[in-house]
Structure formats: C-alpha cells, structure tokens
Amino acid sequence: MKVEQYNAMNQFHLYGNGINELQSYNSLVVKIEGDYYNRQITLGRDWDYSTTTSKYVYMFLEEFGGINFYGISNKRKYVNNLIKDGKIIYDSSMC
C-alpha cells in the first residue's frame, strides 16, 4: 500500500489494490474496498473520536466513498443512519 498525508498533519490516506483507508493519528477510521459501483465502506471505532477526526472522515467519505453530504446539517446522524440501514459497516475492532 502507498501512504500520503491527507489534508492535515496527522491524517493519512493509505491506498492500493482497490482499497482506500483513512488513518487518523494511530487509528484506522475508514476502510473503503472495491470500485465506484461495488464498494464496501467500513468505519472503525474512532471514526467520530473528535470533531477534527469526524471532519476528515466526512471529507474522505465524499471523496472516496461516493457519499454526498450536501444539504445535510447533521452529518454524524446521517452516517449513523447509514450504519443502521446496513449501507456502512461499523467495526468496533478496527483501530
């Protein structure tokens, strides 16, 4: 996998072999597998650890996960509903 800084000093984009991951500090917070038409999004337990982490998670989900937050005032609630509906997987062991 390749690694590059993602929009801030402690945010990292790991990518390769059809996988895009976002690491915030030492925690893996988002994993996106597959292509544009067939992708699986998994959030780790620290995805909403802080306001800053959440900010970059939302940016990453828009850029690589195809999720559009335009007009959404409560992004956290929206993502939690996507988890509840089974459109995003929540993995408490992913860290």
pLDDT at position 21 is 98
- Which tens digits make up the pLDDT trace of 72-94? 999 999 999 999 999 999 999 99
DSSP annotation of 22: E
- Which tens digits make up the pLDDT trace of 43-64? 999 999 999 999 999 999 999 9
Domain boundaries, the chain: 2-91
The two tokens of residue 88 are 């995003």
The two tokens of residue 91 are 């993995």
What's the distance, CA 95 to chain centroid? 12
pLDDT at position 95 is 83
Q: What is the pTM of this model?
A: 0.94
Q: What count of residues does the chain have?
A: 95
What's the distance, CA 23 to chain centroid? 9
pLDDT at 4 over 90: yes
pLDDT at position 36 is 79
pLDDT at 35 over 90: no
